[in-house]
Amino acid sequence: MSIEERLGQLERQNKRQRIGLLVLTVALCAVVALGASSQNKATFDTVTTRILIIQNRAGENVAMLDGHGPSGSSLDPYGNLELRTMGEDGRLKKTVSIGFDTKRKTGYVELWDGAGNLNATLTE
């Protein structure tokens, strides 16, 4: 094999390697772009959390779902639940408590204002 033939072979190999590298680079960029795209929907079989905070598009908290027990703990053996809504200033606006009163043995729904005053109670 002459030097010219060997040089031609090396040039063809070099060209194939450059094309292969370009294809791999484009594929890697596509994978990164697809992985980085934000998804607005997700499906789960189970979600477990102590507090769920809902935010608006600006990233401000507008509602919070929280387990709330008699002692104020976030874990409640009775299954009581609080939904708190926040105003535009980020302060507590209203609270809806849903639970079971163990003393009276009844379920209840309560509506509280931002100052902690009970506005309404619904019991069974």
pLDDT in tens, the chain (124 residues): 788 888 888 888 888 888 877 777 877 777 777 766 656 677 778 877 777 888 888 888 887 777 654 444 444 455 667 778 888 787 888 888 777 777 777 788 888 888 888 888 887 7
Please check whether residue 68 is in contact with residue 52, taking contact to mean a CB–CB distance below 8 angstroms: no
Cα(109)–Cα(101) distance, integer angstroms? 10
Same domain, 16 and 67: no
pTM of this structure: 0.49
> Is position 46 within any domain?
no
Same domain, 104 and 60: yes
Cα(76)–Cα(61) distance, integer angstroms? 23
Q: What is the residue range of 56's domain?
A: 51-123
Cα(101)–Cα(91) distance, integer angstroms? 28
> Is position 45 within any domain?
no
